[in-house]
């Protein structure tokens, strides 16, 4: 049943169930849906939600995606909003309607037809995807981990490569178990550390015939002069040193110009042999936003929004998270980070409640609380900002156990926004109690 058939209440449609979109739907459902002050509908092309910053762990197999996924339908039932499966492909601003494309099964047959959803307030929270920059061969020969199904697919590919090497009757080809990661942002460096751990565990669990220290070379390629170029240099130096300790080959100032089945070619003339390749270099918003009923977008398809998070050409349409180009006071734009999506969702809850009272929207101000990089079970590093830290020191660099605890708390904050304290505490205790009964890595 589509929105117009339900009621004459204010219709709020949220497109995208990532961190920002799902938190927004949950909070609006609790505050407005429960009291029947508005109808809230969340539209997503997947059936389940998984926090995107965890996808590198799913890809490496150090996290089981089936244990941490959240059903949109269950969350909607518990928190008084509606979930509708589908991929939005069209917008009619004059009629205030968004349309979904037909949903297909594995054989290409339509099982959900195209549908229309009327809105009074529309929010795009569709996140981002990896930008291949048009580099030759990337789409054909590289894996991406923008979505849970892509992370699962890479994990299966990794297992197949190791089983194949385990049962081989000839010598390994050069680069057969070489792993090359394009992009040394947070995803790239965290994935490299997780893969180092995962490949050693695979050998430990009995895939003999593969020596992780001799047969596997993990490489990171970055076009900038250092890894994590958006973060403080002291932090990136610590990360680089730890990666070197793990035996990861860190190649900076290396721009990739071509990907082949055998490896990466760089602008400087180097060739990095690697039959297992991941592209994590840069992001862009989904392409359909650049073609959707005249809304203003930038060169990476992000919707241009005001400080109120309203799109520049339609006050009834908002955008949050990675798909929004939101200006700051200093002339820069809000960075595409999970903490920004979380903050914007909190601001937009207040704004939408004010809209129902015919009050003006609130302006969003980004607060940078710092950055945390988790290098698997080895260590974590980060810089904390905000509050007393910002007032007296600007930022504080942390590492080791303290940084790992802070990184762990980020996911718990997301869970708290979705489930509340009681459920998060109980599930955390259950996970701790059952951890020793399971291998650290998903082996299937």
What's the rounded mean pLDDT across residues 23-50? 97
- Look at residue 169 and tell me whether its pLDDT is greater than 90: no
Q: What is the pTM of this model?
A: 0.90
Percent of all residues in the chain with a pLDDT value above 90, rounded to a whole number: 68
Would the pLDDT of 388 be above 70?
no
pLDDT at residue number 260: 98
Position 143 scores a pLDDT of 98
Q: What is the mean pLDDT of the chain?
A: 90
Predicted local distance difference test score (pLDDT) of residue 400: 76
Overall average pLDDT of the 377-384 stretch:
82
Instruction: Dump pLDDT digits (tens) for 228-248.
Output: 998 888 889 999 999 999 999
Residue 384 banded pLDDT, cuts 50, 70, 90? confident
Q: Using pLDDT thresholds of 50, 70 and 90, give the confidence band for residue 133.
A: very high
For residues 251 and 262, the answer to whether their CB atoms sit within 8 Å is no
pLDDT at 286: 95
| Domains in the chain, CATH or no CATH each | 3-128+285-356 (3.50.50.60), 138-277 (3.50.50.60), 370-437 (no CATH)
């Amino acid at each position: 049943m589509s929105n117009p058939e339900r009621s004459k209440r204010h219709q709020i449609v949220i497109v995208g169930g990532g961190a920002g979109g799902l938190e927004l739907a949950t909070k609006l459902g609790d505050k407005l849906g429960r009291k029947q002050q508005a109808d809230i509908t969340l539209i997503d092309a997947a059936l389940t939600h998984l926090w995107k910053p965890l996808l590198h762990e799913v890809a490496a197999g150090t996290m089981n995606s089936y244990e941490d996924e959240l059903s949109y339908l269950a969350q909607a039932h518990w928190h008084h909003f509606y979930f509708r499966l589908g991929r939005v492909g069209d917008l009619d601003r004059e009629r205030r309607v968004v349309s979904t494309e037909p949903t297909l099964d594995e054989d290409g047959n339509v099982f959900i037809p195209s549908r229309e959803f009327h809105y009074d307030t529309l929010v795009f929270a569709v996140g981002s995807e990896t930008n291949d920059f048009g580099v030759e061969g990337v789409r054909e020969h590289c894996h991406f981990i923008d979505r849970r199904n892509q992370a699962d697919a890479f994990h299966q590919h990794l297992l197949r490569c190791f089983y194949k090497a385990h049962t081989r009757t000839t010598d390994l080809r050069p680069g057969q178990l070489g792993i090359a990661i394009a992009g040394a942002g947070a995803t790239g460096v965290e994935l490299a550390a997780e893969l180092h751990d995962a490949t050693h565990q695979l050998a430990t669990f009995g895939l003999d015939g593969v020596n992780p220290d001799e047969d596997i070379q993990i490489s990171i390629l970055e076009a900038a002069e250092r890894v994590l170029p958006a973060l403080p240099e002291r932090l990136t130096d610590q990360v680089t040193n730890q990666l070197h300790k793990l035996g990861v080959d860190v190649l900076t100032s290396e721009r990739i110009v071509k990907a082949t089945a055998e490896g990466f070619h760089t602008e400087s003339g180097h060739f990095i042999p690697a039959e297992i390749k991941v592209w994590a270099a840069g992001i862009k918003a989904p392409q359909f936003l650049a073609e959707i009923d005249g809304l203003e977008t930038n060169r990476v398809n992000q919707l241009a929004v005001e400080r109120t998070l309203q799109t520049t050409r339609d006050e009834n349409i908002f955008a949050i998270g990675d798909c929004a180009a939101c200006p700051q006071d200093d002339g820069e734009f809000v960075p595409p980070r999970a903490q920004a999506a979380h903050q914007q969702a909190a601001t937009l809850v207040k704004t939408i409640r004010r809209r129902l009272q015919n009050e003006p929207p609130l302006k969003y101000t980004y607060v940078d609380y710092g950055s945390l990089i988790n290098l698997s079970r080895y260590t974590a590093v980060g810089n904390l900002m905000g509050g007393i830290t910002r007032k007296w020191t600007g930022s504080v660099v942390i590492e080791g156990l303290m940084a790992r605890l802070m990184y762990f708390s980020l996911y718990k904050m997301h869970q708290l926004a979705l489930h509340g304290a009681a459920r998060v505490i109980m599930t955390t205790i259950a996970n701790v109690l059952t951890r020793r009964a399971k291998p650290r890595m998903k082996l299937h």
